[in-house]
Structure 1
Amino acid sequence: MKVGLYFGSFNPIHIGHLIIANHIAEYSDLDQVWFVVTPHNPFKKKSSLLDNYQRLEMVYRATKDYQRLQPSNIEFNLPQPNYTVNTLVHLQEKYPNYEFALIMGEDNLKSFHKWKNYELILENHHIYVYPRISKDKAETRFDGHKKIHIINAPIMELSSTFIRKSIKEGKNVKPMLPQHVWEYLDEMNFYK
Structure 2
Amino acid sequence: MKIGLYFGTFNPIHIGHMIIANHMAEYSGLDQIWMVVTPHNPLKKKDTLLDDYQRLQLVFLATEDYPKINPSDIEFKLPQPNYTVNTLAYLQEKHQQNEFSLIMGEDNLKSLHKWKNYEVILQNHEIYVYPRISEESENLEFKNNSKIHFIDAPIVEISSTFIRKNIKNKKNVQPLLPLKVWEYVDHNNLYK
Interval of TM-score (by shorter of Structure 1 and Structure 2): over 0.9
Quick one: distance in 1 between partners of 2:111 and 2:68?
29
Quick one: distance in 2 between partners of 1:8 and 1:119?
21
Quick one: distance in 2 between partners of 1:33 and 1:188?
28
The reply to whether residue 4 of structure 1 matches residue 4 of structure 2 is yes
Which runs of structure 2 are paired with 1:105-184 in the superposition (5 Å)? 105-184=105-184
Quick one: distance in 1 between partners of 2:72 and 2:61?
12
Residue identity in the other structure for 2:168: K
Residue identity in the other structure for 2:155: I
SS in structure 1 of the partner of residue 102 of structure 2:
strand
Residue identity in the other structure for 1:169: N
Residue identity in the other structure for 1:103: I
Quote how far apart the aligned CAs of 1:140 are.
Answer: 1.1
Residue identity in the other structure for 1:120: V
RMSD: 0.7
Q: Percent identity?
A: 69
SS in structure 1 of the partner of residue 10 of structure 2:
coil
Query: Which stretch has the larger CA shift, 171-180 or 136-145?
Result: 136-145
Residue identity in the other structure for 2:68: R
Any stretches of 5+ residues in structure 1 without a counterpart?
A: none
Quick one: distance in 1 between partners of 2:155 and 2:167?
23
Quote how far apart the aligned CAs of 1:45 are.
Answer: 2.9
Quote how far apart the aligned CAs of 1:144 are.
Answer: 1.1
- Flag as ranges the 4+ runs of structure 1 deviating above 3 A: none
Quick one: distance in 2 between partners of 1:176 and 1:34?
21
Residue identity in the other structure for 1:95: H
| TM-score, normalised via structure 2 length | 0.98
Quote how far apart the aligned CAs of 1:41 are.
Answer: 1.6
Any stretches of 5+ residues in structure 2 without a counterpart?
A: none
Residue identity in the other structure for 2:3: V
